[in-house]
Amino acid sequence: MTRARPLVAAVALAALLAGCGTATAGAGPTSAPPATPSASATPSATPTTEPTTIRIASLRGPTTMGLVQLMAAADAGEARHDYEVTMYGTPDEVVPKIVQGEVDVALLPANLAAVLYHRTKGQVQVAAINTLGMLEVLESGTTVDDLGDLEGRTVYSTGKGATPEHVLAYLLESHGLDPATDVDIEFRSEATEVAALLAAEPGAIGVLPQPYATVLTTQHPEVRTALRLNDEWGALMPGAAMVTGVVLVRRQFAEENPAAFDEFLTDYEASTTFTTTHPDQAAPLVVDAGIAPSVVVAEAAIPACNITYLEGDELVATLGGYLAVLLEADPASIGGSLPGDDFYHRR
């Protein structure tokens, strides 16, 4: 089954799009009606091992957009395991639940996974990459054409201590700007707060992830995407990938339930493939989950979210290269050093 769909998120987005002011950060998961199962839900499958309860913490946004087919199957009683999905507003809400063993799997920012590996002395592993770069610089105006244009400006952003902060700082430094002195970066706890500021303030600049960027630009044409940070990252390091989100698992759970966890990964990969190849069918499930305010917005946002599924050698090479860049930029952003080889779960 799935639990705690955040209806408050949909309400906050609806208020934002109507120009009703700033949304407040959620205090945790909130309940909403479950998604209505449809023909797009994963067909029932028989587990090859004992049916297992797998407690999954996800974040409101693209990582959960890749999970919606599996969530619908769980709601319909058609999933081969008992997938209990709870969605949260910020990574800070999920971290203690992983550390205390209250969840088994978490969909979290890539750098935070490395921090948790060090904090727990190797008791967590990364099993897959689920999203690549999806951060955009948006402007209510037409003055920003490259990162150098941010000098002396105020930039609103979410993600302090997480991927948005570290990626933006690294890219600004690569353009000769000190993010501490040359740019006034003001952090907000939730993306909806940044979006509300951009909608309300002419000339405002902000950094937003998808699908919030598409929600905002669809409903407020005066706000445009000025820069895609994934493009800026690729221009700086050709062939490298900016990793946004990963699938984290408690080592103990993976070791005690290897077959069930492998089947979850198979089901999750199928769910991400469904979302990316059938955005028209995934969009209603994204709306039901409270991630986007309408099917039209959800379908438009899915291609921009860089939802993916990478595991095995591709996971190690892609994530390892990304963490190495963050280590050079700010060792604290990944917990002080690169994780060991046991950081990567292989099946």
84-88 mean pLDDT: 95
Does the pLDDT at position 140 exceed 70?
yes
DSSP string, 59-123: ETTHHHHTTHHHHHHHHTT-SSSEEEEEEESSHHHHHHHHHTTS-SEEEEEHHHHHHHHHHTTS-
Separation between Cα atoms, residue 198 and residue 209, nearest integer Å: 13
What b/e string do you get for 130-140 counting C-beta neighbours within 10 Å, with b at 16 or more? bbbbbbbbbbb
Say if CB 209 and CB 244 are below 8 A apart: yes
Does the pLDDT at position 320 exceed 90?
yes
Say if CB 315 and CB 344 are below 8 A apart: yes
217-225 CB contacts, 8 Å cutoff, 24+ apart: 217/138, 218/296, 218/297, 218/300, 219/17, 219/297, 220/17, 220/140, 222/140, 222/141, 223/138, 223/139, 223/140, 223/198, 223/199, 224/138, 224/139, 224/142, 225/136, 225/137, 225/138
Q: Which of 220, 179, 218 is nearest to 198 (CA)?
A: 220
Does the pLDDT at position 23 exceed 50?
no
- Domains plus CATH for the chain? 1-347 (3.40.190.10)
pLDDT at 31: 35
Separation between Cα atoms, residue 227 and residue 207, nearest integer Å: 9
Tell me the pLDDT of the chain averaged across its residues: 86
Does the pLDDT at position 218 exceed 60?
yes
Strands (E), the chain: 53-59, 82-88, 105-109, 124-132, 135-139, 154-157, 184-187, 205-209, 224-228, 243-250, 307-310
Residues with Cβ within 8 Å of residue 90, at least 6 apart in sequence: 25, 26, 59, 189, 190
Does the pLDDT at position 26 exceed 70?
no
Q: pTM for the complete prediction?
A: 0.79
Q: How confident is the model at residue 44 (pLDDT cuts 50, 70, 90)?
A: low
Q: What is the pLDDT of residues 222-268, one digit of tens each?
A: 999 999 998 998 888 887 789 989 999 999 999 999 999 999 999 99
Separation between Cα atoms, residue 229 and residue 155, nearest integer Å: 14
201-215 mean pLDDT: 92
Least trusted range by pLDDT, from 117-126, 164-173, 198-207: 164-173
Q: What is the pLDDT of residues 261-296, one digit of tens each?
A: 999 999 999 999 999 999 999 999 999 999 888 999
How many secondary structure helices (H) and strands (E) does the chain include? Answer: 14, 11
Q: How confident is the model at residue 64 (pLDDT cuts 50, 70, 90)?
A: very high
Least trusted range by pLDDT, from 31-45, 172-186, 292-306: 31-45
Q: How confident is the model at residue 196 (pLDDT cuts 50, 70, 90)?
A: very high
Q: How confident is the model at residue 79 (pLDDT cuts 50, 70, 90)?
A: very high
Least trusted range by pLDDT, from 14-18, 138-142, 169-173: 14-18
Q: Which of 79, 131, 99 is nearest to 266 (CA)?
A: 79
